[in-house]
Chains A and B, each alone.
Chain A
Amino acid sequence: MKLEEVKEILNAQVIVAPEDMQMEIKMACGCDLMSDVLAFTKEESLLLTGLTNLQVVRTAEIANIKALVFVRGKEPDRETIALAMEKKIPVLLTDLPMYEACGRLYRRGLPGCSEAEEGSGAAGGR
């Protein structure tokens, strides 16, 4: 699924724009516990979360999360947005609650981390 489709399905607003909205999203994870993101996500996942602090962006960087979606309409503060821009991690914002945001993407065929193949594993990344 393209990030552009994620945006449409979630009626989301783009807070930090990626270089290309056509970037491919292969899997997603919905989680508010950052240690669980580190433990259970695979590389290049989309992360849906209700936390909007700096640590979410740091965690996304460390875990090679491809893009962030903040749910429940929670707007991140300026520092969080600035860090996401610096780390080149795209951020979307949706008013949908976590369950519905995840459900809509899943219904449209975006698999979860435990169901999808690991990312390419090639050198480079972010």
Chain B
Amino acid sequence: MLLVGDKPCFEQSFEITGGDFINAGEVSSKIKKILQEMGVANRIIRRAAIVTYEAEMNVVWYARKGVLTLCVTPELLHIKVKDEGEGIADIELALQEGYSTAPPEIRELGFGAGMGLPNIKKNADEFKISSVVGQGTELDIIIRR
């Protein structure tokens, strides 16, 4: 795991199941609680929760499965999301607000408006994305406390 000099004081991984619309969001809910218990400031928790929620929804919709790893140090939160799924053909396009490949059923849930990755990027201090079509996508996010 990429870390900026300091050792983690907390690290936990969470599995996300593709296609599980009922529990979609539960991982982010758990992470929010963990961060609250750790006494992380509310504005940081909100940013982290938005990042993990959008990322979690992307895995549920577009991947077979994924793992979200949260690592907390006194200075920062490091969130890594790796999925096995269809991947993203044009990352630059996917990062544009309003661009979406979402089918109607995702739009009916109130998502798929092309705001997911832009929302993640907006709430991150550092944001990296890599993807291989047909294999999966990896996100690497740092939020400074």
Contact = CB atoms under 8 A, between A and B. Distances in A.
Interaction A to B = yes
B5 interface: no
A21 interface: no
A36 B42 contact: no
Which interface class (under 10, 10 to 19, 20 to 34, 35 or more) fits B? 20 to 34
Nearest to A35: B115
A38 B119 contact: yes
Contacts, number: 87
B113 A55 contact: no
A68 to B, nearest CB: 13
A33 interface: yes
B42 A124 contact: yes
Contacts of B96: none
A32 B42 contact: no
Interface in B49-66: 49-50, 53-54
Interface stretch (A6-14, A59-67, A90-98, A100-108): A59-67
A114 interface: no
A39 B119 contact: yes
Contacts of B110: 32-35, 37, 49, 51, 53, 55-56, 59
Interface of A: 32-39, 43, 49, 51, 53-56, 58-59, 61-64, 79, 87, 118-119, 121-125
